[in-house]
Amino acid sequence: MKSMKLISVTFIILLSSCAYTPKVLQGDFSTITPAQSKLNHDTNVDVRWSGYIAQTVNKKDKTCFEIIPSETNQNLRPTRIIPKNSSRFLACKDGFLEPHAFNERMVTITGTLVAYTKQNVGEYEYEYPVVKTDVIYIWTKQPPIRNINVFTNFSHFHCGISFIHGYCF
């Protein structure tokens, strides 16, 4: 019985180590989504949004990222699932940031929703929520999961291991 408790505690510790949320992304943020924010033009709201960088634009005094939002996992890492009624947003940070380091990367940002602006996506005029960004957390590219296939007469098993790391600017 004592060994069963030890195994249970060890298992819980191992599972909790897998659910790591980067410290810079922790905190109290609004649950409003980019699409919801556009309905009422909310501003002065602290948000934490995730997605994929579609484009990076360097302006005179800041760098802005056009981000396509995605759902997140329990670690706040963007998944490959783009919500049906999603809305792109702009995340702007003071100063110059190298566009090549960010393009097509998964990010989670924190900051304050400050404005709305209209820009074209192709020929379509699109309204973007604009976030004055405090943190831009770049998730490392996920390596493919390595599968170990075990075939027997009775079953087929798959196992995989992957590690998640990120960078913060």
| pLDDT score recorded for residue 83 | 82
Taking the CA atoms of the chain, what radius of gyration do you get in angstroms? Answer: 20
List the chain domain ranges. 28-140
Structure tokens, 113: 């929703």
Best CATH choice for the domain 28-140 from the list 2.30.30.830, 3.40.190.10, 2.40.50.140, 3.40.50.10260: 2.40.50.140
Beta-strand pair 45-58/106-121: antiparallel
pLDDT at 149: 55
Output DSSP code: residue 104: T
C-alpha dist (Å) from residue 129 to 4, 48, 55, 70:
52, 13, 15, 15
Task: Report the pLDDT value the prediction gives residue 23, as an integer from 0 to 100.
Answer: 84
C-alpha 14/C-alpha 27 separation (Å) is: 24
Name the one residue in this structure whose structure tokens are 């004592």.
Answer: 2
pLDDT for 86 equals 85
Q: What is the pLDDT of residue 89?
A: 96
Mean pLDDT by 10 residues, the chain (169 residues): 56 54 87 92 94 94 95 88 88 94 90 95 93 94 60 52 51
What long-range pairs does 29-36 form, CB within 8 A, spacing at least 24? 29/110, 32/113, 33/69, 33/83, 33/86, 33/87, 34/69, 34/86, 34/87, 34/88, 34/89, 34/129, 35/83, 35/85, 35/86, 35/87
The model's pTM = 0.72
